[in-house]
Amino acid sequence: MPQSAEKIKDHSTLFNEPEYQKLFENKKQFEGCHAQEVIDQQAAHINSWEYREKNFAREALVVNPAKACQPLGAVFAGAGFEKTLAFNHGSQGCTAYFRSHLTRHFKEPCSAVSTSMTEDAAVFGGLQNMIDGLNNAYHVYKPKMIAVSTTCIAEVIGDDLNAFIRNSREKGSIPQDFPVAYAHTPSFVGSHITGYDNMVKAVLSNFWEGKDRTAGTKINIIPGFDGYAVGNNRELKRILNEMEIEYTVISDVSDVFDTPTDGTFRMFDGGTKLADVEAGLNAKATIGLQKYCSDKSLEYAASKGQDVAAFHYPLGVGATDELLVKLSALTGKPIPASLELERGRLVDALADSNAWIHGKTFSVYGDPDFVYGMTRFLLEMGAEPIHLLATNGSKEWAAEMDTLLKSSPYGVKGQVWAGKDLWHLRSLLATEPSEFLIGNSYGKYLERDLGIPLIRLTFPIFDRHHHHRFPVLGYQGGLAVLRTILDKILDVLDVETAKTGISFDLVR
Ligand code: SF4
C-alpha cells in the first residue's frame, strides 16, 4: 500500500496512486457509468443557451440554493448574546447541520442543542421533548438565556412554542423568571436571514415587551447575518468608539466565534450583555446594517418609539459615508478627522489600482444585502457587474438593485436574478460569462466547470481559513476587499502571461 506510518500521504496525493485509481475505475464499471464521450456531450449541452432556457423554465425544483434555512440564522443570532444557549425545538440532525455549518466557516465550536424530536414526537407533539430539553439545557449548561427556534418537524405538526415554554416553566424545567426568547422559524418560508431577524426580534421583545421607554442617547446596531462578523463587529465598534458614540451591538458574535486557545474551553464567551439588551429599549435609535436581516426587528424598535435606519452591508466609500453621516445625525457627534483620513486613504488606494479593475466584469451572488453592497462597491471601482443573484432576494430587492445599476454608467450590463439558485447561475455564466465571480466556497464548482476565477468574500467560506477575522465593512474593510479582488486579478494575469512570457512583469 502507498500509505505508511513513516510517510503519511495526504488524501489529495494518496488517491492518485495506482491502487486507488484502479479502484475508482472498477467502481465506474460496477455502477455502469456512461462512456466519457457521452459525459462530454452532456457537459457541452448544459453550457448551451438551449439548456439555459430549459433550466430557467423549471418551477418546482431548486438546485444548490445560495441560502440556508431559517433556524440556522436563528442559532447564529441567538449565539450572539451573553451566555445564551441556542436551542432548536426539532430534530437532532438539523441542529448538527447548523453547528457544523457554522463551525466549518469559523473553525470554532458552535454550541447549540435540540429537543431531539423523533417519530413519536412527530405524531403526538413535542411538548415532553420541550419540557425535558429545557430542563436538561438549563441544568447541564447553566446558560443565562435560552434562545429557542424551530426546525421543520416542529413546524409541520404546529407545535406552539409559547404554550410549550409556559408549560415547561409550570413543570419546573426552568425558573418562572428565566429568560427564554423564542421564535417560530419555519424553513419552508424565508431563509437564514429571516430566521436571524425573527430571533433578534424575539430577544428584543423578551426584554422590552410591556415596559415603558425613556428615550436616551445610545444607539442599537443590528449587524445582520454576517460570516465576517468577527472582523466586522470589531471594526464597527472601533468606528463607533472613534466617534465617541454610546452603542449596543445587538447579537455580537465577534468573541463567541473567536475564542482564544489558552487551555480553557469557553462554552460561552462574549456576546451582548443581557442588561444592555434590556437597556436598549431606551436607545434613541436602532440601526440595521443589513436591511433584509432586520425588517421585523426594526419595525418592532420603531413601534417602541425609536428612530430606525437600515443599510445594505456598508462596503466601500459611499456606503460607509452614508452610515457615518447617519450616525452623526442621530447622535450629534461629528465624524472625526481620523475617519476622514481613512476615507482618503481608501480613495487613494482605489485610484492607485483603478487601471487594473476598471472595466473588468464580475458576477456576484449571496445574501441580498451583501450582493447590493458588493455591487455598489464594484460600481465605485469602475468595474462592471454582470449577473447579480440572491436566492433569498425579493422583488423589492430586485427593484433596489435595478435602481442601483441605473445610477452608474458601469451598471448597464448588470442583470438581477432574485429567487434563482446556483444551477441557474451556472447557465448564466456558461452563456454570458463574466471575468470573475464573487461569492462563497460553493462557487468553486462554477470556477472549476466554467473557468471563471472565484473571489471568496461571503458566508460560508469552508475551504479557506480566517477570512472572517478581517473586516470588510467600513473604509478599512474596503481596503481589504480591494486588495482581495486585485490579488485575484493579478494572480490570473500572472498565470496567463507566464504561459507566453509576454507582459509577465515584476511591477504591476
Ligand atoms: S430545512 Fe428543515 S429539515 Fe432541513 S435542516 Fe432546515 S430545519 Fe432541518
CA 88 to ligand 1: nearest atom: 7
Chain segment 21-75, per-residue pLDDT in tens: 999 999 989 999 898 899 999 999 999 999 999 999 999 899 999 999 999 999 9
Chain segment 484-494, per-residue pLDDT in tens: 999 999 999 99
Q: Is 71 in the pocket of ligand 1 (CB under 6 A)?
A: yes
Task: Find out whether 198 and 164 touch, Cβ atoms under 8 Å.
Answer: no
Cα distance between residue 81 and residue 88, in whole Å: 16
Report CA dihedral (496, 502, 507, 508) to the nearest 10 degrees: -50
Chain segment 451-466, per-residue pLDDT in tens: 999 999 999 999 999 9
Q: Mean pLDDT over all residues of the chain?
A: 97
Positive or negative: CA dihedral 477, 388, 438, 259? positive
Chain segment 223-273, per-residue pLDDT in tens: 999 999 999 999 999 999 999 999 999 999 999 999 999 999 999 999 999
Task: Find out whether 55 and 82 touch, Cβ atoms under 8 Å.
Answer: no
Residue 482 pLDDT: 98
Tell me what the mean pLDDT of segment 304-324 comes to: 98
Residue 148: phi and psi, rounded to 5, are -95, 130
Task: Give the residue whose CA is nearest to atom 5 of ligand 1.
Answer: 94
Confidence of residue 2 (pLDDT cuts 50, 70, 90): confident
In the chain, what percentage of residues exceed pLDDT 90? 96
Whether 152 is catalytic is yes
Confidence of residue 285 (pLDDT cuts 50, 70, 90): very high
Ligand 1 centroid–CA 263 distance in Å is 35
Cα distance between residue 46 and residue 175, in whole Å: 59
- Please give the order of strands across the beta sheet that includes 219-222: 247-249, 219-222, 285-288, 307-310
Chain segment 198-233, per-residue pLDDT in tens: 999 999 999 999 999 999 999 999 999 999 999 999
Strands in 203-265 per DSSP E = 219-222, 247-249
Residue 23 pLDDT: 94
Q: Please compute Rg for the chain using Cα positions.
A: 25
Whether 364 is catalytic is no
Tell me what the mean pLDDT of segment 329-343 comes to: 98
In this structure, what C-alpha cell is assigned to residue 219? 444607539
In the chain, what percentage of residues exceed pLDDT 70? 100
Tell me: pLDDT of 99 over 90: yes
Tell me: pLDDT of 17 over 80: yes
Ligand 1 centroid–CA 140 distance in Å is 26
Residue 236 pLDDT: 98
Decide: pTM greater than 0.95.
Answer: yes
Q: Is 153 in the pocket of ligand 1 (CB under 6 A)?
A: no
Cα distance between residue 282 and residue 220, in whole Å: 10
Tell me: pLDDT of 331 over 80: yes
